[in-house]
Amino acid sequence: MYHIPHKTETNKTVCGRPIEVGGRPQVLLTTNADRHKGVGTCNRCKALQAGQSRTAKISAKHRKIREAAPAEKKDRKPGKRQPALLVLGERCPPMLVTTYKGKEYTAKVNEGGTITHEFKTYNSPSRAGKAITGREVDGWTFWSYLAEDGTTKKLDTLRKEVA
C-alpha cells in the first residue's frame, strides 16, 4: 500500500531522512517497512551505514593487533654520533681535498675521525661538504684524498676498499 504524504506530513525514510527529488516529496511504501529493509532507505544512508560498518571492522582489527603485541620502545644511545671516518681505521687520510665551482678546498682529518675545515669541526664528510656548498651533498663522493701513488681518489673508493 502506498501513502501519499499531505502538505503538513513530512515524508521520511526508515532512517529518518526526508526523501525529496527536485524539491518534491516522493511516495513511500509505509506498510511492513521492517520486512522490506531496502524500501524507504535513501542511498546516502546506505553508503553511510556501509562506511560505518567498515570503520567498525577496521577499528576492531587494529585494537586486536595492539592488544596482541604491544610495541616496545628501542633504547637510544645518548650523546653525539660517532665520526663517520672512523670506519676507515688506520687507512684514514690526513687531508681531504675537493674542487667546487673552480675553487680548491682542503680539510684536515683529525685523529678522532672528525673533519676540520676553516676552524669548524664536523663528524661526517657530508656535513663538511655542506659547509662549502651550502646544500646537501654526499660527502663520500664530494671529498677526495691524495693516494700513495700521488693521484687523487674519491673518499668513497677508500671506504669500499676497507669494507
Domain boundaries, the chain: 2-67, 84-162
Rounded to an integer, what distance in angstroms lies between the CA atom of residue 45 and that of residue 51? 10
Coil/strand/helix, residue 20: strand
Kindly indicate the confidence band of residue 119, based on its pLDDT and cuts at 50, 70 and 90: very high
Q: How many CB atoms lie within 10 A of CB 140?
A: 19
Question: What does the radius of gyration of the chain's CA atoms come to, in whole angstroms?
Answer: 36
Share of the chain above pLDDT 70, in %: 69
User: Which of 9-13, 50-54, 61-65, 157-161 is predicted with the least confidence, judged by mean pLDDT?
Assistant: 9-13
| pLDDT value of position 21 | 59
Kindly indicate the confidence band of residue 22, based on its pLDDT and cuts at 50, 70 and 90: low
Total residue count of the chain as it appears in this document? 163
Beta-bridge partner residues of 99: 104
Instruction: Indicate the pTM of the whole model.
Output: 0.51
Cell of 134: 651550502
Coil/strand/helix, residue 118: coil
Instruction: Output 7-14 pairs: Cβ under 8 A, ≥24 positions apart.
Output: 13/40, 13/41, 13/42, 13/45, 14/39, 14/40, 14/41
Question: Which pLDDT tens digit goes with each residue over 54-74?
Answer: 999 999 998 888 888 766 777
